[in-house]
Structure 1
Amino acid sequence: MRIYEYQPSMMHAKTVLVDDRWVAIGSTNMDPLSFDRLEEGSVVADSPALAGHLERTLRADLARSKEITREEWSRRDPVVDVARDAASLFDEWL
């Protein structure tokens, strides 16, 4: 597994591309809370044309992303990351 961090901003959408034809795009997390309680949704399609478009979009996004190593990921503190990101946004608004 490889982890990439999109650099321009935070991206909330979840996307899946399987075998150049099956696509899922949405906000649903893969956990019981998202499936059973939250009103999240995803579009799922069997469409080679949509899959081709998504692949091009994902490749463009990866070009603007930084690969995060397992070591970097294990050292992360989510509270610090959120605080840092919030401070960065605040600085941009000033």
Structure 2
Amino acid sequence: MIYQEALNDLANHLNSRITKVVLNGVYEITQFEKKAVTDSTVALNFIIPASDISLVTLIEVMGPTIKVSSKAVNVPITSDNLMLETFEIEEVTS
């Protein structure tokens, strides 16, 4: 069993490493509406401006030297969108 305090510490470490979100491999977002840790969950809120992007096909969360996550999506952007990305640190048992 991993203690909750250790999971919380891992979430705080991950939060400190996230520096940007990259859309479609080229558009970088470095300003977050909110970037916070609650217990063992990291939450990122960011705005995708409709004036810059009309369709999001790839969302990557990045650190200075690592790629935290990458996912293919199909999100049309017709107005400024507030997006939420969450990462929950949890123990997995087999």
Question: TM-score range, shorter-chain basis?
Answer: under 0.3
Output the TM-score relative to the length of structure 2: 0.24
Output the TM-score relative to the length of structure 1: 0.24
Q: Compare the two structures and name the one with the higher helix fraction.
A: 1
Q: Compare the two structures and name the one with the higher strand fraction.
A: 2
* Rg larger in structure: 1
